[in-house]
Amino acid sequence: MITLRGKLKKDPDVSNSKSQNIPSKRVSIRDKLLIKEAQEMEQTLPMTCQVTFNDPHCLYEFTLLIIPDEGYWCGGHFYFQINVPEEYNMIPPRVKCLTKLWHPNISEEGDVCLSILRQNSVDGMGWAPTRKLKDVVWGLSSLFTDLLNFDDPLNREAADLFSKDKELFGIKVKEYLIQFAKR
């Protein structure tokens, strides 16, 4: 396997010139962590998920496609943009849903309500540096199944409709799906 450390060891001139020219530049902890985490994420990807790195040299920016195989959103194509900030893993990745959908925990603007993505939480359910990219992917895919939560909604209208009329809720989800999430 080609690693940065191995490469620097083999080519001492590179590491020397770098540290001389820009002595204050820190090596990104995030990038070091992501080398392992991105690989692990791809190896443990749920059946319903696909990951695309827009730039193979940037492990901190990628798109996640979820195609749920059960539940209200079954068969839809839902795209998520995931950005891992420089301060990772002290702070969580930032997630935006690119596909418009009708979901109690995802707003129509694409904001996602998932406990492990919360930076500051007092209940111990939020982000922790022990979590990894694969946990984020599994969490997002579970929002369409196990983690679907109508009690603490981001899209209140969606949750209200569900409690009033489940059939109508299902119809509205399908309408959005056909209009925005076919491919």
Contact residues toward other proteins (CB under 8 A) are 19, 26-27, 29, 32-33, 36, 89-91, 119-121, 124, 126, 128-130
| 113 among known catalytic residues | yes
- Return d(Cα 64, Cα 66) in angstroms, integer: 6
Quick check: 111 and 119 in contact, CB under 8 A?
no
Please name the residue that has the structure tokens 């696909």: 50
For residue 120, the minimal CB distance to other proteins (Å) is 7
Q: Taking the complex as a whole, how short is the minimal distance between the CB of residue 91 and other proteins, in angstroms?
A: 8
Q: Which is nearer to other proteins, 6 or 129 (CB)?
A: 129
Tell me how far, at minimum, the Cβ of 121 lies from other proteins, in Å: 8
Q: Which is nearer to other proteins, 89 or 141 (CB)?
A: 89
In the complex with other proteins, which residue's Cβ is closer, 123 or 167? 123
Max alpha carbon distance in the chain (Å)?
69
- Helices 29-43, 133-142: axis angle to 10 degrees equals 50
CB atoms within 10 A of CB 96: 14
| Dist. CA 81–CA 31, nearest whole Å | 18
Residues acting as catalytic residues? 113
